[in-house]
Amino acid sequence: MSDHQDALLLDRADAAESPERVDLTRRWTDPPTHKARAGVQRAVNRLLDILAPERTVIRAARPPQPVERHRTPRACILQSAAAAVSVSWFPDAASDAAFGELQVLVWRGTVSRPGSAQRGPGGATIVRALVFYCDDRGGALDDVAALDVDAIDVAEAQSVPADWGWCMADGTRYETDALAAHCLALLAQAVVDVAAGDSG
């Protein structure tokens, strides 16, 4: 292992309790492969499925929920009575040396859904904006590409990480489940902040 990889492993071990931090200076030199893009799309779909699973169509009206979950193929909106969180995936062009970005926006008020004629009174304003980039666990694809397929044991091959994570510009990294939990925590905090602002 190189000194850089050793340092990353030590950083990860030290930060076991907090979101992982990774070095974002590593950039793709060639456009990502179709396999890599498909992996990223699966990670996006998994995140959206956790936050707002696709609903089946029913004839009866749905009972009101404390958090309404609205879904499109590349985005979702988690709407409470006074605040919302939207998660949107913006893929880059196939020729770009990147995958795209995931925008997480925290809103005060009611967010109108795309294509909806209903608008909330007073509209919605953005309180906080976070941008995440898809990450292959700090080099999992590099590790897979460097493996000698003939010399690999089946058990060892299954231990190679294949899940994608989400990095912010400051290097903070979240696994998909942790990012979904973070989005729900952002919504809960926004609801508390709105309630405190209304009562104060």
Model pLDDT for residues 126-145, shown as the tens digit of each residue: 999 999 998 875 444 443 33
Nearest residue to 161 (alpha-carbon basis) of 18, 48, 20: 20
Model pLDDT for residues 96-130, shown as the tens digit of each residue: 667 899 999 999 998 987 666 666 666 789 999 99
pLDDT, mean over the chain: 74
Q: How far apart are CA 103 and CA 58, in angstroms?
A: 31
pLDDT for res 138: 47
Q: How far apart are CA 98 and CA 29, in angstroms?
A: 9
Q: Which long-range contacts (CB under 8 A, 24 or more apart) does 43-47 make?
A: 43/134, 43/163, 43/164, 43/165, 43/166, 43/176, 44/74, 44/89, 44/102, 44/134, 46/176, 47/87, 47/102, 47/166, 47/176, 47/179, 47/180
Share of the chain above pLDDT 90, in %: 38
Model pLDDT for residues 147-193, shown as the tens digit of each residue: 343 443 434 333 334 568 899 989 899 999 999 999 999 999 999 99
Model pLDDT for residues 40-61, shown as the tens digit of each residue: 999 999 999 999 998 777 777 7
- Burial class of residue 98 in the structure, from the number of CB atoms within 10 Å of its CB (0-12 exposed, 13-18 middle, 19+ buried): middle
pLDDT band at 200 (very low <50, low <70, confident <90, very high): low
pLDDT for res 64: 77
